[in-house]
Amino acid sequence: MIVERLELSGFRNIASAKLSFSDTFNYILGRNAQGKTNLLEAIHIFSLGRSFRTRRASEMVRFGDERFFLRLAGRSDSGVGFRIEVGQERGGRVKASVNGTALGGMGEIVGLIPSVLFAPSDIELAAGPPAARRLYLDYTAALVSPTFLARLREYRTALRQRNALLREAAAGGRFDAKQLDAWDIALAGAGAAVIAGRRETLDVLGIRAREILQAVLPGSGELELGYDPTCGCGEGDGAGMILDALAASRESEIRRGYTLSGPHCDDMTIRAGGIDLRRYGSQGRLRLTAIVLRLAQAAVILERRGERPIVLLDDLFSELDAQAAGGVRAVLSDRYQSFITTPRPEDVPSDPGGAAVFAVEDGAFSDAPR
């Protein structure tokens, strides 16, 4: 997948911009708070269907403007061109279209432009709360498997309904045990499929992550990824184990008003040399691990979809030594179209070749001097 052009109007601090990109590296250079991350956010919206920074679309409208508008044009790896537009009036509903055809909602553009995003906050992917790692697994699996995405949506629907019943019971309302039994069955069926999809995806991610770590930093040791379920589900245990876990915790769940076990509570283990990086990794190691996990995500998407994802790297080189930075560049090479932000001119190669280099100041973009 290649993004050829992007038009922005009234988006964050960007009044108006029309940008054309290189098929390989695109460096966005500028001081902090000038608009570098805003550009990555705009591109990523076409993949995620929403911002990775806020759930309120109105926050993306530039101060003093009444609407934002984004138009992205590009081509697939097979050469098929496309044009996607997204816009919102302040306080209104976000609207989207593909090749001039209006869509029913932003959910319909999810996955159209596969992309991988590394942000400074991704250190939480290696050492933060489990939610970040669950999102990492689910996003990867959903991009390569429409079936997984459908089952994940089923699971979330069943979880909302079940939690609504539990909240009502906790508040002393009428409690229908048979209705809860029905949602247990729905939750367990969809949950087993979610766990199976996550495990399958994690197996491939683990292989690619080990390969990429050795390519980026040879001799840095083994990286092991594992799945850590809350319901005791092993390989192939399926819905029965989830049902048993739900039955065992039902009384406690009724008191608390929410579901205590299942895929929404599971985690991913990350070990290096037998050490749990979630607890004992240094800042530098955690950051490098997060970058490797994102590059592994890109490799799996390419492998399973047969389409290169766009790679978005926000402040990539911070805290990376020269060897690791060079290793990451070598892995990216011309394999992916990459967008890399940095506040430091020295992070941009003196001879960038076919790369594009943009300077940004107060939301205004220009070609950076070579």
pLDDT, tens digit, 9 for 90 and up, residues 276-335: 887 776 777 888 888 999 999 999 999 988 889 999 999 888 777 888 888 888 888 878
Closest CA to 227 of 141, 117, 110, 123: 141
Q: Where are the beta strands (DSSP E) in 51-178?
A: 67-75, 81-89, 95-98, 101-102, 115-118
Three-state DSSP at 225 gives strand
C-alpha–C-alpha distance, residues 147 and 336, integer Å:
26
Report whether 22 contacts 6 (CB < 8 A).
no
Domain 1-114+309-370 classification at class level: alpha beta
C-alpha–C-alpha distance, residues 217 and 324, integer Å:
6
**CATH 1.20.1050.90 in the chain, residues?**
122-306
Residue 236 pLDDT = 55
Interstrand relation of 67-75 and 2-11 (parallel, antiparallel or unpaired): antiparallel
Which residues, in sequence order, are CB contacts of 176 under 8 Å at separation 6+?
165
**CATH 3.40.50.300 in the chain, residues?**
1-114+309-370
Given a cut of 70, the residues of the chain with pLDDT beneath it are 232-237, 281, 369-370
Residue 161 pLDDT = 94
Report whether 264 contacts 231 (CB < 8 A).
no
pLDDT, tens digit, 9 for 90 and up, residues 101-129: 888 877 777 778 889 998 888 888 888 89
Q: Rg of the chain's alpha carbons, rounded to an integer?
A: 22
Residue 257 pLDDT = 92
Give me the sign of the Cα torsion angle 200, 143, 115, 362.
negative
Give me the sign of the Cα torsion angle 126, 128, 130, 136.
negative
**H helices of 4-59, where?**
36-48
Exposed/middle/buried for residue 347 (C-beta within 10 Å: 0-12, 13-18, 19+): middle
Report whether 313 contacts 341 (CB < 8 A).
yes
Residue 233 pLDDT = 61
C-alpha–C-alpha distance, residues 266 and 194, integer Å:
11
Question: For 122-306, CATH number?
Answer: 1.20.1050.90
